[in-house]
Amino acid sequence: MSEQGISKRQAVLPEESGILVIGLGLIGGSLLAALREAGYKGRCYGVDLNPNEVALGRRMGLIDDGGADPAAFLSRVSLIVLAIPVMAIAPVMAQLSRLRRHGQIVTDVGSTKSAIRDQIRAGIGQVPSWLVLGHPIAGAEKSGVEAANPMLYQHHRVILTPEADTDPGALRRIEHLWRVCGAHVEQLTVERHDEVLARTSHLPHLLAFSLVDTLARQDDRLDIFRYAAGGFRDFTRIAGSDPVMWRDIYLANREAVLEALAEFETGVSELRTAVAGSDGDAMLGIFSRASHARHYFDRLLSQKSYQAMETRNVVYRAGAGGQVRGNIRVPGDKSMSHRSIMLGALAEGVTTVEGFLEGEDSLATLQAFREMGVAIEGPQAGRVVIHGVGLHGLKQPKGALYLGNSGTSMRLFAGLMAGQTFDVTLTGDESLNRRPMGRVADPLRLMGAVIDTGEGGRPPLTIRGEQRLAGIDYDLPMASAQVKSCLLLAGMYATGDTRVREPAPTRDHTERMLTAFGYPVARHNDVAHIAGGGSLRGGFIDVPADISSAAFFLVAASITPGADLTLEHVGINPTRVGVINILREMGASIELLNEREVSGEPVADLRVRHAELHGIDIPVDQVPLAIDEFPVLFIAAANARGTTRLRDAMELRVKESDRIKAMADGLDVLGVVNTVVEDGIDIVGGRYQGGEVESLGDHRIAMAFAVAALRAEGDITIRDCANVATSFPNFPALAHEVGMQVEAVAEGA
Ligand SMILES: O=C(O)C1=C[C@@H](OP(=O)(O)O)[C@@H](O)[C@H](O)C1
Ligand SMILES: C=C(OP(=O)(O)O)C(=O)O
C-alpha cells in the first residue's frame, strides 16, 4: 500500500504521512515512543550522527529507518522535528531550507528561543513560515534514545513560540502533534519564553551546578557526599544533567539568565543580612513565603485563563434525594478570617488565629501580606501565627497583588493600601475584575487617596503611596460592610476622625475585631467612627464556623423530611443572622444551643430539623443581614408553600455573579416558577425536576443547586464549581457526610 493510502486511513495525525526526528536522544526518542503509543501508523525516521543511537532506535521499534543525513528521508515525510542541541539548530535549518521540496513543516525542541530564532535569521535571512519554534518542558537527567519514555509528555506543558507570520496551518499541526503525546500546548512570545525559562529552569540548574561543584571542591568533600541527604541530594540530581546541553543553554540565553541571577543575588544578600543579624522574623518571612509559594500559586494559577487547558473545571453531580443528619462543623468564617490576617499583620506583636478558613479567598489575603513582607506561619489545620509588623511596617510587594475571586480582599485592601508609603496594584480573576470598585475608590479619594481604576471603576486598582489622608464624614450610598470596613481601615491612617453612616446595619466584624486588637471604634446609632493615629495589639482570635457556609445546611435540613442536623460553633453575630430570621419566619425549626462568646463574637451550635416551609415577603431590614445567603434561600423558597418575595436586593447583582439572574436561570431549568424584577425576585414553591445548571463560577450558586437536589425529581448537574474552594473547600465531603449525594468530578470526565 502506498504511504498516501496509509495516511488517509490513519486516525492519529491524519495529515502526517511520515515524521522525521533529527536527533535521537531522550526528547526525540520519547516523542517517537509517545506517537507509537498513541497509535500513529505513519512512517517514522530518525537521524543522528551516532550510528549506535540509530541502530538502537530501530531495534526499539521507534523508527522504520534512519541514518546520519536528513537528505535521505526528506521526501518521505511531512513533518520534521529538530531534537538537537540549541547551537546545532541553525545549520540544520539552513540545510533543510535548501532541500525542502514538498511543503514539510518543521518544529524544534530547544530550551531557549531567541538565540535559535536570531541564528536562523542570520543564516537564511528569515524565520520561515513553515517553522514553528517550540519547547516541551519535560527535561530529565537521563539522556540517549535508550531512555525514551512514551509517557514523558503526558500532562506536561509544551510552549510554542510562533512568529507573526508563522503559517497557521503549520501551527495547528504542531499543536496537534504534541496533544497526541498527551501534552498541554500553550503559546508565548519568544522573549517571554526566554525570560520565564531563565527563572524557572536555567537559574535553578545554574545554582545546582555551582553549589555541587563548590562543595565537591572542598577538602572534606567525602564527608559532604557521605552524609548528603534531602536538600543536597536534590541539588546533585539536578547537577547530574547533560553538561554540553546546559553550556549551550547559557550561551544562548545569556541576557535573561544574567538578569535572573542578579535578582537571585539580591535575594541571597537579604537572607545573608538576616542570618548575620540573627533576624528571625526576616528569615521566617522569607521562608514562610517560599514554603507556601508552590501550593499557593498552583491553586491561584489554575484559575487563570492562560492555563485553562490544564484546568479542567469541576462539575457537581448532585443526585436527587438524600438525607441530612448528624453533627458537623463547617469551615471558618470568611469575613473574620480576612480581617484576622489584616489586623494581625498590622498589629504590634504576634497574633495566633484558630479556625482560619483555608479557602482561596482568605488565602489570597494571607499571601498578599506575605508578599508585603509579613512573616506568617501556617495555615495548619486552621491555625495561623502572624508576626505583626505594625501599622507602618509593610513593604512594597514585588508585583501586583493578586486577590483571586475575593471582593472583600480587594475592597478592604484598597483602604489599607491608601495609607501606605508605596504604590501598589490590586488585581483579581475574571469575576473580580468585573466588580465595581468606584464604591471604594470614590470615598477614598475624598480622604486624599490617589487611585487609578480600570474602565468603569473596575479593577485593577493602582493606589499611590505617600498621600496624606484626612478623615471624612461619609454616607454610604449602599448597605455594604466592605465599603464601611475599607473606610474604617483607611481611617487608621488618616488625620482626625473618619465617620461612616450606613443606610442599614451591615456586618460589624471590622469594628469588633479592631476593638479586640485594642483600636477603639465608636458607634452612635447608624454611624461608626474611628480616629487616626492609633495602634493595634496582637493577640488571639478564635474564628467561628461561617454562618454563610452553615446556611447551605440550614436549608438542606429544613427541606428534607426526617432531617436532624447540628452545626457546631457557628458565628451568630446579630448582623449575620438574617438567614436564621428569614428561615424561621418561613416556618423552619432552628434551635440555638450552647450560646457563648469567643474573641468578641457570639457563637452557638445550631440544631435544625425538617419543617414545612411557607412563602413570605422577606423583610427588607433582613436583606443586608443575609446578603450572601440568598442563593440558598431561593432554594428554600422553591420548597415552600406559596410565593416568597424578595425586594431591595440590588446588591445581589454585583457579587461574584449577578446572583438574581444566575439563580433565576437555574430555577427555570428546574421548572421552578419565578419572576425576576430589577431588585429582587418572586419564587413560587412546588415540585421541580432535575437538569443541568450553570453556576457561572459563583461558589454560592453552585452550592445552592447542590442543596436543591435533595428535593428534585431528577439529578442536578452543576457546571463551573471550582470556585466553591474560595469559601468552602470541603463542601462535597461534608455534604456527603450528612447524607447528601454530591460528587465533584472534573469537567469532561
Ligand atoms: O465585609 C465582608 O466581609 C463582606 C461583606 C458583604 O459584601 P458587601 O459589603 O459588598 O455587601 C458580603 O457579601 C461579602 O461576602 C463579605
Ligand atoms: C460576595 C462574596 O464574597 P466577596 O465579595 O468577598 O467576593 C461571597 O462570599 O458571597
Q: Indicate the helix (H) or strand (E) that contains 114.
A: helix 114-124
Assigned domain for 114 exists: yes
Separation of alpha carbons 249 and 477, rounded Å: 59
HEC secondary structure over 588-643: CEEEEEEEEEECCEEEEEEEEECCCCECCECCHHHCHHHHHHHHHHHHHHHCCECE
CATH number, domain with residue 526? 3.65.10.10
Q: Looking at the structure, do residues 507 and 554 belong to the same domain, yes or no?
A: no
> What SS3 state is found at 543?
coil
Domain span including residue 253: 195-278
Assigned domain for 337 exists: no
Compute the distance from residue 411 Cα to the ligand 1 centre, in Å. 9
What residues pair up with 59 in beta bridges, in sequence order? none
Q: Looking at the structure, do residues 578 and 685 belong to the same domain, yes or no?
A: yes
C-alpha cell at 218: 572542598
Q: Looking at the structure, do residues 44 and 153 belong to the same domain, yes or no?
A: yes
Whats the size of the chain, residue-wise?
749
Q: What is the ipTM of this complex?
A: 0.98
Q: Looking at the structure, do residues 159 and 255 belong to the same domain, yes or no?
A: no
Domain end point (choices 536, 554, 575)? 536
Q: Looking at the structure, do residues 46 and 164 belong to the same domain, yes or no?
A: yes
Separation of alpha carbons 538 and 516, rounded Å: 9
Separation of alpha carbons 406 and 459, rounded Å: 12
Q: Looking at the structure, do residues 510 and 550 belong to the same domain, yes or no?
A: no
Number of domains present in the structure of the chain: 4
Assigned domain for 306 exists: no
Compute the distance from residue 479 Cα to the ligand 1 centre, in Å. 10
Q: What do you get for the CA distance between the two ends of the chain, in Å?
A: 38
Question: Whose CA is closest to 722, among 254, 364, 315?
Answer: 315
Domain end point (choices 500, 515, 536)? 536
Active site residue 223: no
What is the pTM (predicted TM-score) of this model? 0.77
Assigned domain for 160 exists: yes
Q: Looking at the structure, do residues 82 and 164 belong to the same domain, yes or no?
A: yes
Could you list the mean pLDDT of each consecutive 10-residue stretch along the chain, which spans 749 residues?
39 91 94 95 95 95 95 95 92 94 94 93 95 87 84 93 96 96 94 92 93 81 69 83 87 93 94 94 84 68 38 85 98 98 97 96 93 89 94 93 94 98 95 96 98 96 97 98 98 98 98 97 97 97 98 98 98 98 98 96 98 98 98 98 98 97 98 98 98 97 98 97 93 97 83
Q: Looking at the structure, do residues 610 and 736 belong to the same domain, yes or no?
A: yes
Q: Looking at the structure, do residues 601 and 721 belong to the same domain, yes or no?
A: yes
C-alpha cell at 449: 487617596
Alpha carbon nearest to ligand 2 atom 8, residue:
628
Separation of alpha carbons 610 and 295, rounded Å: 40
C-alpha cell at 31: 516523542
Alpha carbon nearest to ligand 1 atom 3, residue:
335
> Which pLDDT belongs to residue 343?
98
Domain end point (choices 483, 502, 536)? 536
Assigned domain for 91 exists: yes
Q: Looking at the structure, do residues 160 and 250 belong to the same domain, yes or no?
A: no
> What SS3 state is found at 135?
strand
Question: Whose CA is closest to 80, among 42, 108, 102?
Answer: 108
Q: Taking CB atoms and a 6 Å cutoff, what residues make up the pocket around ligand 2? A: 334, 361, 406-408, 628, 655-656, 700, 727
> Which pLDDT belongs to residue 748?
62
Q: Looking at the structure, do residues 517 and 551 belong to the same domain, yes or no?
A: no
Assigned domain for 556 exists: yes
Assigned domain for 11 exists: yes
HEC secondary structure over 14-51: CCCCEEEEECCCHHHHHHHHHHHHHCCCCEEEEECCCH
CATH number, domain with residue 271? 1.10.3660.10
CATH number, domain with residue 126? 3.40.50.720
Separation of alpha carbons 101 and 74, rounded Å: 8
Q: Looking at the structure, do residues 183 and 66 belong to the same domain, yes or no?
A: yes
Alpha carbon nearest to ligand 2 atom 5, residue:
407
